Amino acid sequence: MKKKSVLITLMIVFSSGITYSQEKVRVTGVITSFKTVPLRNVSILASRTGDTATTDSAGVFSVQCMKKDVLRVSASGFIPRKQKTKGVSVYKIDLVYRDDPANFNEAVNNGHIAERVLRDAITSGTRTQVKDYSKYKSVYEAIAGEIYNVRVNGNMIVNTKLRSFDRTPEVLLVVDDKIVSDISFIGTEYIQSIEFIDDVGTSMYGAMGANGVLKIKLK
């Protein structure tokens, strides 16, 4: 009887180990900034497995993580970012650079990007500079501060004039051309633009867009 219980215990431990190993996956990716510039020596940490990696000269990394995990990406001079793994094996992650002398020195001195390349990227980015939404504490505060014809009440965003009498006055939320129900996850530093459409442009969304469409584009 004792031998049987030991055998059962060993079988449970063994099967648990198989399940655990099967949940692990190896993912690869590339870390960039300014959309196209690869970053070197960027640190990537898989939260659940604890596995770490560093990008090479092309910005490429490979790390072992769980199927459902969070990659923590950090580079000196750039805003850290978290990336949830979603069952795919390749990721492209763009880090936001906030321009100031301290960040410039950190980025260059830690070997993430060459000085000339960073200067060129900053100059090019300045020519096409979009609004800096990072001054706001939340995406809701950014919307309230930038869009005059909507009202923000907690996590609810409504058109200041009721457009549909058979629906609530809440506007339709669209992030990167995808309809969503929640935008609380969006960090203001990743917002590229916020636009409110309240005219014929809403027709493509049918009845869902009757009270207007709030479109957010991310960097």
Structural domain boundaries of the chain? 22-127, 133-218
pLDDT at 16: 47
Asked if 193 contacts 128 with a C-beta cutoff of 8 angstroms, the reply is no
Q: Can you give the pLDDT at residue 76?
A: 95
The fold of the 22-127 domain, in CATH, is Immunoglobulin-like (2.60.40)
What is the per-residue pLDDT for 72?
95
Spatial separation of the C-alpha atoms in residues 147 and 209, rounded to whole Å: 17
List, in sequence order, every residue forming a beta bridge with 15; answer none if it has no partner: none
Strand partners of residue 38: 32
List the chain pLDDT tens, one digit each, 219 residues. 555 554 454 455 444 444 444 589 999 999 999 888 999 999 999 999 999 999 999 899 999 999 999 999 999 999 999 999 987 888 889 999 988 889 999 999 999 999 999 998 888 765 555 578 888 999 999 999 888 888 898 889 998 876 555 556 789 999 998 999 999 989 999 998 898 888 777 878 888 888 889 999 988
35's tokens: 């959309």
Q: Is 70 left (phi over 0), alpha (psi -120 to 50) or beta?
A: beta
CA dist 38 → 8, 9, 30, 99, 106 (Å): 51, 49, 7, 17, 16
Q: Please compute, for residue 27, the number of CA atoms within 13 A of its CA located in the half-sphere on the CB side.
A: 29
Q: Are 37 and 75 within 8 A, CB to CB?
A: no
**Whole-number pLDDT of residue 21:** 46
Taking the C-alpha atoms of residue 75 and residue 14, their distance in angstroms, rounded to an integer, is 39
pLDDT value at residue 1: 52
